[in-house]
Structure 1
Amino acid sequence: MHIGFDAKRFFHNRTGLGNYARSTILGLAEYFPGHSYTLFTPRATGEFCTLPTQRGLIVQEACPLGGMFAALWRSLGIPRAARRHNLDIYHGLSHELPLTSFGPGTRTVVTMHDLLFLTHPHLYPWIDRQLYASKYRQSCRRADMVVAISQKTADDVHEIFGIPRDRIRVVYQSCSPAFSDLRDVDDAARLRQKYRLPERYALFVGALIARKGAQTLIAALAELPAADRPDLVIVGTGPLQAALRDQARALGLVDRVHFAGRVDDADLPGLYRQASVFAYPSVGEGFGIPILEALGSRVPVITSTGSCFSEPGGDAALYTAPGDVPELARALSRVLGDEALRRDMIEKGVRHAHNFHSSRTSAALMEVYAELCGTAEQEHP
Structure 2
Amino acid sequence: MKIGLLTHSVNPRGGVVHSMELAHALFDAGHDVTLMAPATPGQQFFRPLRCHSALVPVASTPADMVAMVGSRIDAYVDHLSLLLEHTHFDVLHCHDGIGGNALATLQERGLIDGFVRTVHHLDNFVQPQLMAWQQRSVVQAQQVLCVSRLWRDVLQQEHGIAAIDVPNGVDAARYSPTPHAKDSALAQRLGIRSNGPVLLCVGGVEERKNTVRVLQAFIQLRAQMPDLQLVIAGGASLLDHSAYARTFQALLQASGCSRDVLLTGPLADADMPGLFRLADVVAMPSLSEGFGLVVLEALCSGVPVVASNIAPFTEYLQAGDCSWADPLDASSIARAIQQALADNDRQRIAASAARLAARFSWQRSAALHAGIYQNLTAREASPCL
TM-score scaled to structure 1, two decimals? Answer: 0.81
Match of residue 292 from structure 2 = 288
Q: How many angstroms does 1:56 deviate by? A: 4.9
Q: How many angstroms does 1:344 deviate by? A: 2.4
Tell me whether 1:37 sits opposite 2:44 in the alignment.
no
SS at match of 1:279: strand
Q: 1:207 aligns with which of 204, 211, 223?
A: 204
Equivalence map 1:2-81=2 (5 Å): 2-7=2-7, 9=9, 12-30=10-28, 32-33=29-30, 35-40=31-36, 46-48=43-45, 51-52=48-49, 55-57=50-52, 59=54, 71-81=73-83
Rounded to whole Å, the distance in 2 between the matches of 1:324 and 1:92 is: 36
Q: Which amino acid aligns with 2:364?
A: R
Rounded to whole Å, the distance in 2 between the matches of 1:216 and 1:105 is: 46
Match of residue 93 from structure 1 = 95
Match of residue 330 from structure 1 = 335
Match of residue 379 from structure 1 = none
Rounded to whole Å, the distance in 1 between the matches of 2:348 and 2:177 is: 19
Contact map agreement 1:27 1:362 (CA 8 A) in 2: yes
Aligned residues: 352
SS at match of 2:180: coil
Structure 1 residues 312, 19: CA separation in 2 closer, same or farther (over 3 Å shift)? Answer: farther
Equivalence map 1:1-381=2 (5 Å): 1-7=1-7, 9=9, 12-30=10-28, 32-33=29-30, 35-40=31-36, 46-48=43-45, 51-52=48-49, 55-57=50-52, 59=54, 71-82=73-84, 84-95=86-97, 96=100, 97-101=103-107, 106-117=113-124, 124-125=125-126, 127=127, 130-163=128-161, 165=162, 168-177=163-172, 179-181=174-176, 185-199=180-194, 200-224=197-221, 226-228=223-225, 230-237=228-235, 239=242, 240-311=244-315, 313-315=317-319, 316-340=321-345, 343-374=347-378
Q: How many angstroms does 1:108 deviate by? A: 1.9
Rounded to whole Å, the distance in 2 between the matches of 1:367 and 1:270 is: 35
Rounded to whole Å, the distance in 1 between the matches of 2:249 and 2:116 is: 42
Q: How many angstroms does 1:220 deviate by? A: 1.4
Match of residue 62 from structure 2 = none
Q: Which amino acid aligns with 1:87?
A: F
TM-score scaled to structure 2, two decimals? Answer: 0.80
Structure 2: stretches of 5+ with no match in the other structure:
59-69, 236-240, 380-385
Rounded to whole Å, the distance in 1 between the matches of 2:336 and 2:32 is: 48
Q: Which amino acid aligns with 2:142?
A: D
Q: Over residues 154-194 of structure 1, what are the superposed CA-to-partner deviations in whole Å (9 max), with x where a residue is unaligned?
A: 1111111111x2xx211122345564245672523201210
SS at match of 1:266: helix
Rounded to whole Å, the distance in 2 between the matches of 1:332 and 1:62 is: 43
Q: Which amino acid aligns with 1:99?
A: T
Q: How many angstroms does 1:5 deviate by? A: 2.4
Q: Over residues 286-338 of structure 1, what are the superposed CA-to-partner deviations in whole Å (9 max), with x where a residue is unaligned?
A: 22222222122111111112242224544412221112112112112222123
Contact map agreement 1:62 1:81 (CA 8 A) in 2: no
Worse-matched range after superposition: 86-95 or 348-357: 348-357
Q: Which amino acid aligns with 2:198?
A: Y
Q: Over residues 257-285 of structure 1, what are the superposed CA-to-partner deviations in whole Å (9 max), with x where a residue is unaligned?
A: 22222222111111111211111121111
Contact map agreement 2:177 2:300 (CA 8 A) in 1: no
Contact map agreement 2:8 2:95 (CA 8 A) in 1: no
What do you get for the CA RMSD once the two structures are aligned? 3.0
Rounded to whole Å, the distance in 2 between the matches of 1:203 and 1:70 is: 33
SS at match of 2:131: helix
Q: How many angstroms does 1:339 deviate by? A: 4.0
Contact map agreement 1:4 1:90 (CA 8 A) in 2: yes
Q: How many angstroms does 1:94 deviate by? A: 1.6
Contact map agreement 2:6 2:37 (CA 8 A) in 1: yes
Match of residue 120 from structure 1 = none
Rounded to whole Å, the distance in 2 between the matches of 1:323 and 1:186 is: 39
Rounded to whole Å, the distance in 1 between the matches of 2:264 and 2:158 is: 38
Worse-matched range after superposition: 293-302 or 89-98: 89-98
Rounded to whole Å, the distance in 2 between the matches of 1:352 and 1:292 is: 7
Q: How many angstroms does 1:137 deviate by? A: 2.7
Rounded to whole Å, the distance in 1 between the matches of 2:232 and 2:72 is: 36
